[in-house]
Structure 1
Amino acid sequence: MSSLARVRAEARASLKSFLRRRTAVFFTFFFPVLLIVIFAGLVRTGGGGTGLFSQPPGYYVPAYLATVVLFTPLSRVGSTVARHREGARFEKLSTTPLRSWEWLAAHTLVNVALIAAACAVLVGALAATGADFALSPWLAAFVPTASVLFCGVGAVLGSLADSQDGAISLSNGVALPLLFLSDTFVSPAALPEWFVPLLNLSPLTYFARGVRTATYAGGSPVPAFAAVLALAAVAFAVGVYALPWRET
C-alpha cells in the first residue's frame, strides 16, 4: 500500500469518526454561525471609537473565520492525539506501515476540508447580514494553510497533555487569548501601545491581517500569506516530531 493509499484510508476513518459525533458537528458548523447571529446581527458593529466591535462589519470577517480556523484544529487534533495516547493506539499504529507524518497528514486533510466547508457557511452567513467585504480568492489560500498550521499546533498540545480532557483544556487555554489578541476582534488601537508589537508573536495575527487585506482593507496579502505558509510548514513538522508514536 502506498503512502497516498494509507493517508486516504486514515482520512476516511477520521471523517467517519467525526460524523458520528453530533456535538463535534454542531460546534464546527453551527456555533460560529451563532456567533455571527449574536455579534453581527444583534450586537451592531461600526459604532466608532476604538473599543470592541467599533469597526464596520467587514473588518471582522477575519475574526469570524479565525474562530473556526483556530478552535477546530486545536480541539479536534489535540483531543484525538491525547485519546490515541491514552489508548496506546500510537504504539499499535507504529507496528503497521502507517507513518507518523501520514497519520497527521490524514487528520489534517480531514480538518482542512471541514474547516473550509464551515468557513464557506460563515461567509454566506456574513454576506446575509449585509457585511461589506470582498469575496477574495485569497480565502482559498489562507484558510487551508492556516488550518494546517493549527493542526500542527494541536498535535503538539495533544502530545503534551496528560489526558483528553487536559488536551481540550489546554487547547482552549491557548485559543482564547490568541483569538482576541491577534488583531481579530480587538483592533490594535484598543490595546496598550507597549503590547501592539507583541501581536506579531501570534501566528493568527498574520492570518487575520492577510484575510483583512484581501477582503476589506485592500493591498497585497502576499507577505502575510508567506508568513502563514512558513509557519504552517514548521508547525506540521514539529507536530509530527511531537507525536508519541513509539511511547513506552
Structure 2
Amino acid sequence: MTVTKEVELLPAPKAEDLAAVLLETEQPRRPSALSASLTFGWRAVLKIKHVPEQLFDVTAFPIMMILMFTYLFGGALAGSPGEYIQYLLPGITVTSVVMITMYTGVAVNTDIEKGVFDRFRTLPIWRPAPMVGYILGDLLRYVLASTVIMVVGLVLGFRPDGGFVGVVLGVAVLVAFSFAFSWIWTMFGLLMRSEKSVMGISMLVLFPLTFLSNVYVDPATMPSWLQPFVNVNPISKLVEAVRALMAGGVDQDALLWTLGYVIVFTAVFGAWTMRLYNRK
C-alpha cells in the first residue's frame, strides 16, 4: 500500500525581495585598533599553547645562564657566588629577556614565507594590528622569563632590598624596553629573506650589546677606550635602572636614558616597520 503525502511548496521569492537583500548597504562594524591588535596578540599566545617547545628559551635558557655565570665566575669576580649573584641577577634578567626579543622578527618572517601576511593585508582592520599583535603576544614571554629568573635567583640567594615592589617595577621597565626593542626585529623580519637570516643579524647586534655592558662586570674595570661605549650602551642604561629599582632606589639618569631609548626605538623602528609592511 502506497501512501502519498502532499508537500507544500513555498512560494518563489519576489525579484524585489532578492534585490533588497543583495543590495544591502549596511556593513558589519570594523573592529577598533585595540580590538584588532589584541586579537592578533591572542593569536601569538595560542601559537605558544599549541607548540609549548617555544617556551624553552624563556625557561631553560635563563636558568642555564644564571647557573653558569654564578658558579663559573662568581668566585673570581666577587669572591663568592652568593656575593656575585646580588650584582649579576638584575643584569642577567635584562640579558635573557632582551635576547628573546629577536623571536618576534623570526615569527614575522615565518608568516611572510608561509603567505599568511597576504591574507592579513586583505582584512578590513587597522593596518599595524598584525605587527602590534606579535609584540603584545611576546609580552607574556618576557614576563614569564623574568619570573623564572627571579624564582631561581631567590633560591640561589638573591635578596632584593627593594622587595616585591622594587622587583615588579624593575620588570615593568624591562618589559617596556623589550616592547620597544622588538620593533627592530620586526623590521628585520620584513627585510630578511629567511628566518635564519633574521636570527643571524639579531645575534650580530645582541652579543656586542649584552657583553659590552655592565651586566657581568663593573665598567670601571674595562679599558678606558671601551668605557664610553659601555656607558651609553642602551643595555647598560637599562641594567642600571633595573638594578636601582630592585635595590630599593631610583637612578633617575639611567631611567631617563632608558625612557629615551624606548621612545626612539618605537618612533623610528616602529614607523620604519609599518612603512615596509605597507610597501611589501
Structure 2 length as normaliser, TM-score?
Answer: 0.77
Mapping 1:6-45, distance limit 5 Å: 6-40=36-70, 42-43=71-72, 45=74
Aligned to 1:63: 91
Note the aligned Cα RMSD (angstroms). Answer: 2.5
In structure 1, the residue corresponding to 2:250 is in which secondary structure?
Answer: coil
Aligned to 1:221: 251
**1:114 is matched with which residue: 132, 136, 141?**
141
Displacement after TM superposition at 1:127 (Å)? 0.9
In structure 2, the residue corresponding to 1:83 is in which secondary structure?
Answer: helix
Aligned to 2:5: none
Instruction: Tell me the distance in 2 between the aligned counterparts of 1:64 and 1:195.
Output: 21
Q: Is the aligned partner of 1:172 residue 2:199?
A: no
Displacement after TM superposition at 1:193 (Å)? 0.5
Larger RCO of the pair (alpha carbons < 8 Å, separation 6+): 1
Displacement after TM superposition at 1:26 (Å)? 0.7
In structure 2, the residue corresponding to 1:56 is in which secondary structure?
Answer: helix
In structure 2, the residue corresponding to 1:138 is in which secondary structure?
Answer: helix
Q: Is the aligned partner of 1:154 residue 2:185?
A: yes
Q: Is the aligned partner of 1:239 residue 2:239?
A: no
Instruction: Tell me the distance in 2 between the aligned counterparts of 1:225 and 1:245.
Output: 32
Aligned pairs, number: 243
Q: Is the aligned partner of 1:197 residue 2:225?
A: no
Question: Compared with structure 1, are the counterparts of its residues 187 and 158 closer, same or farther at alpha carbon in structure 2 (3 Å cutoff)?
Answer: farther
Question: Compared with structure 1, are the counterparts of its residues 119 and 224 closer, same or farther at alpha carbon in structure 2 (3 Å cutoff)?
Answer: same
Contact 1:101 1:240 in 2 (8 A): no
Between 18-27 and 201-210, report the one with greater CA deviation: 18-27
Instruction: Tell me the distance in 1 between the aligned counterparts of 2:262 and 2:62.
Output: 23
Q: Which ranges of structure 2 fall in alignment gaps of 5 or more residues?
A: 1-30
Question: Compared with structure 1, are the counterparts of its residues 226 and 66 closer, same or farther at alpha carbon in structure 2 (3 Å cutoff)?
Answer: same
Q: Is the aligned partner of 1:87 residue 2:87?
A: no
Q: Percent identity?
A: 21
Aligned to 1:230: 260
Structure 1 length as normaliser, TM-score?
Answer: 0.86
Between 181-190 and 160-169, report the one with greater CA deviation: 181-190
Instruction: Tell me the distance in 1 between the aligned counterparts of 2:121 and 2:263.
Output: 23
Q: Which has the larger radius of gyration?
A: 2
